[in-house]
Each structure stands twice: as C-alpha cells, then as structure tokens.
Amino acid sequence: MFRSLRSLTLVGALALLGSLWSTDAAAQVTTGSMRGSVADSSGNALEGVRVTATHRPSGTVYQGTTRADGRFILPGLRVGGPYTVEATRIGFAKQSRDGLTVGLGYRPTSSSSLARSRRNSPPSP
C-alpha cells in the first residue's frame, strides 16, 4: 500500500512539474512593441493622434492613439521589419518615419513633431 501511495505521489509531482514547464514555455515572448510620443511644433503633447505602424514585408498594420500626455504604445508587433510609422491628426501635416525594426521584447521609440497643416491653419494677419 505504501509503495502504491509513493508511486501515486511521484506521478502527481511529475504531472505538476510538467504543467509548470508547459506554462513557462507558453509565456515566452514572441512579439515586440513600439512606443513613443507626439508633440506639436511648439513641443506641446498632442492627444488623439493616430499612430499607424505598417510591417512592410507582410503588410500587417498596427494602430494606436496618443494619450493626453502625447504618448502611445503599440503592443504585439510582428518581429522584424522594416516598419513604416505614420502619425496623423486633423489639422496637422502627416509625419512619417521609415525603416524601424522591432526585436523580441524590444521597444523601439518613435517620437514625432507635427506641424499645423497649411490648408487648416488660420489665415495670417
């Protein structure tokens, strides 16, 4: 009886160890992310700017929006590159950066400054 109880305990311990190992393996990082900030030409943070990152080889598009402090984060990006990143907001000229690369668990930073669009600017006095 003690022998079968010891065998059952050993099997239970091995099953627990196996489940811990598979959980650890499933938690491995397989994507990257990108973060940055967007400001106007005076350096003031811009909220509500649409940030779009396009993985050029696959055409996969990731989008996010800046918060009140002008910062954004795009999680879960495909590893590699190059990426083209665009920042757009009504009333401002589009800003674009090309050639960014994302690594495993690595967060490249992309900061931009948007100038007011000429067609949406108030007339000069």
Per residue in 30-59, pLDDT tens? Answer: 899 999 999 998 999 999 999 999 999 999
H or E stretch at 18: helix 2-26
The rounded distance, in Å, linking the Cα atoms of 72 and 110 is: 9
Q: Are 72 and 36 in contact, with CB atoms under 8 Å apart?
A: yes
pLDDT digits (tens, 9 = 90+) for 82-113: 999 999 999 999 999 999 999 886 655 566 67
Contact 107, 98 (CB under 8 A): no
Looking at residue 125, what is its pLDDT?
Answer: 40
What is the enclosing helix (H) or strand (E) of 36?
Answer: strand 32-40
**Can you give the pTM of this predicted structure?**
0.68
Q: Which fold has domain 32-119?
A: Immunoglobulin-like (2.60.40)
